[in-house]
A and B are shown apart, each in its own frame.
Chain A
Amino acid sequence: MSYTVTKKVDAVGSFCPGPLMELVRGIKEVEVGEIVELLSSDKGSAAEVQKWCEKSGNELLEIKQYDGDTQGFVIKKGERKRRRRRE
């Protein structure tokens, strides 16, 4: 799979809900279509990140396995749909 990671968010050593909250912060800082990689060693992250991506309309492209417990979640920022938008 070919892509360029725009932002890497290192949440290794952080516990639930830390990694997800770091991912939320990271996603806020990139544009639609850009890619964030979250690094997490928390075992609960896989299920939580997948569920969050489904709900939020962001696309989980890949889960990488690094040394030890560390995993990399590669996420492409999706378009958000809003009923109304503040000017």
Chain B
Amino acid sequence: MSNNTVNVVILGAGTGGTIVANKLNKKLKKTKKPFQLTVIDPSFKHVYQPGFLFTMFKKDKTHSIVKDGKKLLPKNTNMIEEKVKKVETKDKVVITESGTKVPYDYLVIATGAKLSPEKVDWWDDSLYHYYSPEAADRLSEKIENFREGKIIIAIGEIPYKCPPAPIEGALLLDDYFKKKGIRDKVEIQYCSPLDRAFSIKTVNEVIEPIMNEKGIEVETFFNVDDVDTEEKVLYSLEGSDLDYDLLIMIPPHTGQPFLHESGIAGKSGWVPTDRETLRVQDQENMYALGDTTDIPTSKAGSTAHYEAPIIAENIYKDIIGDTNLTKYDGHVQCFFLTEFGKSLFIDFNFEHPPKPGKPSRFWWWFKLFFKPFYFRAVAKGLV
């Protein structure tokens, strides 16, 4: 540790990186040892991504789901607004695109998932989705002006962020067009790469009957193979072809390319991470959380929320010489919107699959309340 100062560098100022910074800052102050927290992020735009399901229907404004990430971090944080070029793991140095070298004693990788449509040869920029603020805004115009025809929601590739979001999109489209009085003129189809609509069986047992009731057609075992945007035909690897008027395609995701180039991750960019200690495999003093890991659980803000305290605790323990590491149990909680006004609540961990009840108004209101609560308390590490 240089000059006895403990240097903790966090890559990424999204949900995971921000909560780790806030939690760790409090803990490190307790040690009374000198420390420096550095957060490196290309933009410090902190996006509340569950909000896309609202902005795509113009039920919320983009500026209310995108905040200045610097204001959510501890004031004593060294904030570097740059992309990372490489991590020299042997020398424990992060190199930014401008060439700045940032040494670390502990490195936390919270760089999230990157939308990587270029990964597949069939992607066309005319396709719609709602996995970025700009894309959700663009889709909102299309949905507002959609009068009749067939809408398909399909998954580009697994894994993708927030597994419920594509089905939530289909269910909310149903409600939106019902309220507009034109549901009978709009066909909605959902294409799943699996043999069921939703990956977790206990949730699927609740959600697929709801989709059936609402007249949303579920096409299973549909792994996208090609899209003809001129003829408006979507092809699957399994041999199906579907006509559409509006195709909403969840883009393929990868980890950040510099992680592969630094020898930390494989080609896909997902960081091999111990699912309990959250330590990066074969690396010293390196942790990863949230969407960027290869842990077999949901890529979701909630996952990062529950992983962040584990990393803060384990770095703190390491500094004070406590070898009894805290373990992550796979805890994830999320809302699953079924219409404007109703939601399921899902709670699970590695050992216990979710037992969703029925959609309720209570969880809908809780979901609405959660956004201000997220910016005021969750991101700041208060809960």
- Bound pair (A, B): yes
Contact: B239 with A57, CB < 8 Å?
yes
Number of residues from A at the complex interface, CB < 8 A: 22
Contact: A82 with B193, CB < 8 Å?
no
Binds B, one of A10-18, A31-39, A60-68: A10-18
Within 8 A of B (CB), among A2-43: 14-18, 20-21, 24, 27-28
Closest Cβ of chain B to A59, distance in Å, is 14
Contact: A82 with B235, CB < 8 Å?
yes
Q: How far is the CA of A24 from the CA of B221 in the complex (A)?
A: 10
Quick one: closest B residue to A18, CB to CB? B296
Q: How far is the CA of A78 from the CA of B378 in the complex (A)?
A: 50
B261 at the interface (CB under 8 A from A): no
Tell whether A17 pairs with B199 under 8 Å between CB atoms, given A56-B239, A83-B241, A86-B228.
Answer: yes
Tell whether A84 pairs with B233 under 8 Å between CB atoms, given A15-B296, A56-B238, A56-B239.
Answer: yes
A69 at the interface (CB under 8 A from B): no
Q: How far is the CA of A25 from the CA of B231 in the complex (A)?
A: 26
Tell whether A55 pairs with B221 under 8 Å between CB atoms, given A17-B158, A84-B228, A84-B231.
Answer: yes
Q: How far is the CA of A13 from the CA of B80 in the complex (A)?
A: 38
Question: Which of B220, B235, B237 counts the most A-chain CB atoms under 10 A from its CB?
Answer: B237
Contact: A14 with B296, CB < 8 Å?
yes
Closest Cβ of chain A to B209, distance in Å, is 20
Tell whether A52 pairs with B239 under 8 Å between CB atoms, given A14-B296, A18-B296, A84-B233.
Answer: no
Quick one: closest A residue to B236, CB to CB? A56
Interface string of B175-200 (1 = CB under 8 A from A): 00000000000000000011100010
Closest Cβ of chain B to A20, distance in Å, is 7
Q: How far is the CA of A14 from the CA of B235 in the complex (A)?
A: 27
Closest Cβ of chain A to B54, distance in Å, is 28
B223 at the interface (CB under 8 A from A): yes
Contact: A52 with B235, CB < 8 Å?
no
Return the contact of A57 from the options B158, B193, B238 (Cβ within 8 A): B238
Contact: B238 with A55, CB < 8 Å?
yes
Closest Cβ of chain A to B271, distance in Å, is 15
Quick one: closest A residue to B296, CB to CB? A15
Closest Cβ of chain B to A25, distance in Å, is 8
Q: How far is the CA of A21 from the CA of B155 in the complex (A)?
A: 12
Return the contact of B239 from the options A14, A21, A28, A82 (Cβ within 8 A): A82
Contact: B193 with A21, CB < 8 Å?
yes
Closest Cβ of chain B to A17, distance in Å, is 5
B105 at the interface (CB under 8 A from A): no
Q: How far is the CA of A27 from the CA of B239 in the complex (A)?
A: 13
B208 at the interface (CB under 8 A from A): no
In the complex, which residues of chain B have a beta carbon less than 8 angstroms from the beta carbon of A48? 194-195
Contact: A52 with B231, CB < 8 Å?
no
B226 at the interface (CB under 8 A from A): yes
25 A-B interface contacts by CB (under 8 A): A14-B296, A16-B199, A17-B158, A18-B296, A20-B194, A21-B193, A28-B225, A48-B194, A48-B195, A52-B195, A52-B238, A55-B220, A56-B221, A56-B237, A56-B239, A57-B239, A80-B225, A80-B237, A80-B238, A80-B239, A82-B235, A84-B231, A84-B241, A86-B228, A86-B231
Q: A20-B193, A52-B221, A55-B221 are in contact. List 5 more A-B contacts (CB 8 A).
A: A14-B296, A24-B237, A51-B221, A52-B238, A82-B241
